[in-house]
């Protein structure tokens, strides 16, 4: 961790060391992170500050472009960013810390300067990947912000590959089978093994009439009714690309892929499960939903490539 000028931060609110010895006890903290938003090291850094005194937190997440896929779906990227932000805000609020958040300019330096122009934060926490994989560090972001911000800047390094969250982050991938009983039962079994946070993605078929959003919403409601923590997103039409992007966006620990039986599954004919298993060291679970399971069928005729 580093602070501007190498000095230890004064944790009192710099903006409120007012007249007649009056002090506002709450410290306002700007948290800046992107892919590392879901990291435990970042959450723990905020909790440590909360343990020292009353704080309020505003989290900003500069939106980036995915590494996989030739076509960038702006709405998909933004929704993934907002989902990560939602997960982080919820986890900080669980510690009793007042928290807000916003998706910002893709350039992190510009995003920070914009945020400081809108509000006089007392401290800044910037979270990055380790130096070997951090574009922000290659841009010397920490030093630039320390020189420009003139307030304490703490740098938190989040190694998503090394750390293990108290909750396992499970990526769930399904299209027409997203509401299937077999899939829901599998997720309940995983949750019974240990705390899980589910990220459900539903690759859209590309058909204007595709009701992926409706199926996804119904599934999220079902999971919520079962007491399971889940967020969801309709994603890039190609399931392989959608999975690779999700691994990049959400810091996933394991993957669950739901398909119809091989006789009617385009994903299985394209060897999706095998390709994903070959591309990652993370556990991959394959769930087959019976095509006759009424909860796994589309509301209408099949469109696009069946999962």
Q: Tell me: the pLDDT tens digits for 66-102?
A: 555 544 456 667 777 888 888 788 888 888 899 999 9
Q: Where are the alpha helices (DSSP H) in 151-238?
A: 181-193, 212-225
Provide mean pLDDT across the span 255-282: 95
Residue 260 pLDDT greater than 60, yes or no: yes
Strands, E, within 63-122: which ranges?
98-104
Please give the CATH topology (third level) of the domain spanning 168-296. Answer: Rossmann fold (3.40.50)
Distance of CA 27 to the CA centre of its chain: 26
Residue 256 pLDDT greater than 90, yes or no: yes
Separation between Cα atoms, residue 149 and residue 223, nearest integer Å: 43
Residue 297 pLDDT greater than 50, yes or no: no
**Strand, coil or helix: 255:** strand
Q: Tell me: the pLDDT tens digits for 273-292?
A: 999 999 999 999 999 987 55
Residue 153 confidence class, pLDDT cut points 50, 70, 90: very high
Nearest partner of 1 among 162, 125, 97, 92, judged by Cα: 125
- Please say whether the beta carbons of 54 and 96 come within 8 A: no
Instruction: Return the higher-pLDDT residue of 213 and 11.
Output: 213
Nearest partner of 202 among 125, 298, 112, 271, judged by Cα: 298
Provide CATH 3.40.50.620 ranges for the chain.
4-157, 168-296
Separation between Cα atoms, residue 45 and residue 50, nearest integer Å: 9
- Please say whether the beta carbons of 247 and 93 come within 8 A: no
**Strand, coil or helix: 22:** coil
pLDDT at residue 306, as a whole number? 59
- Please say whether the beta carbons of 258 and 172 come within 8 A: yes
Instruction: State the first-to-last Cα distance of the chain, in angstroms, to the nearest integer.
Output: 46
pLDDT at residue 164, as a whole number? 58
Nearest partner of 75 among 65, 61, 62, judged by Cα: 65
Separation between Cα atoms, residue 104 and residue 273, nearest integer Å: 35
Nearest partner of 76 among 235, 188, 202, 220, judged by Cα: 235
Separation between Cα atoms, residue 95 and residue 93, nearest integer Å: 5
Q: Tell me: the pLDDT tens digits for 174-217?
A: 998 988 899 999 999 999 999 898 999 998 776 544 577 888 88
Give the least confident one: 202-216, 230-244, 291-305: 291-305
Nearest partner of 58 among 80, 27, 13, 94, judged by Cα: 27
CATH architecture of 4-157: 3-Layer(aba) Sandwich (3.40)
For residue 222, what are the CA distances in angstroms to 27, 74, 189? 39, 28, 15
Task: Return the DSSP state at 122.
Answer: S
Separation between Cα atoms, residue 282 and residue 67, nearest integer Å: 19
Provide mean pLDDT across the span 107-122: 94
Separation between Cα atoms, residue 193 and residue 8, nearest integer Å: 43
């Amino acid at each position: 961790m580093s602070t501007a000028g190498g000095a230890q931060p004064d944790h009192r609110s710099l903006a409120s060391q007012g007249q007649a010895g009056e002090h506002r006890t709450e410290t306002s903290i700007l948290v800046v992170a992107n892919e590392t938003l879901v990291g435990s090291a970042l959450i723990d850094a905020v909790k440590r500050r909360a343990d020292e005194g009353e704080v309020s937190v505003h989290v900003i997440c500069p939106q980036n472009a995915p590494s996989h896929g030739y076509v960038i779906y702006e709405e998909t990227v933004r929704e993934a960013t907002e989902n990560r932000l939602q997960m982080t805000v919820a986890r900080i609020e669980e510690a009793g810390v007042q928290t807000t958040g916003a998706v910002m300019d893709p350039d992190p330096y510009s995003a920070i300067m914009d945020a400081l122009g809108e509000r006089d934060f007392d401290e800044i926490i910037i979270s990055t990947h380790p130096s070997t994989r951090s574009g922000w560090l290659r841009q010397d972001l920490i030093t630039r912000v320390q020189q420009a911000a003139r307030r304490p800047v703490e740098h938190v390094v989040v190694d998503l590959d090394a750390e293990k969250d108290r909750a396992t982050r499970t990526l769930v991938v399904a299209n027409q089978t997203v509401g299937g009983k077999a899939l829901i039962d599998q997720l309940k079994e995983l949750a019974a093994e240990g705390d899980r946070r589910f990220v459900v993605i539903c690759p859209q078929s590309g058909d204007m009439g595709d009701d992926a959003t409706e199926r996804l919403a119904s599934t999220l409601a079902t999971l919520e009714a079962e007491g399971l923590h889940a967020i969801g997103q309709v994603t890039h039409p190609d399931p392989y690309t959608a999975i690779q992007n999700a691994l990049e966006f959400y810091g996933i620990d394991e993957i669950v892929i739901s398909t119809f039986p091989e006789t009617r599954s385009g994903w299985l004919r394209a060897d999706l499960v095998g390709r994903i298993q070959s591309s990652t060291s993370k556990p991959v679970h394959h769930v087959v939903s019976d095509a006759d399971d009424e909860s796994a069928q589309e509301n209408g005729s099949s469109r696009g490539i069946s999962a």
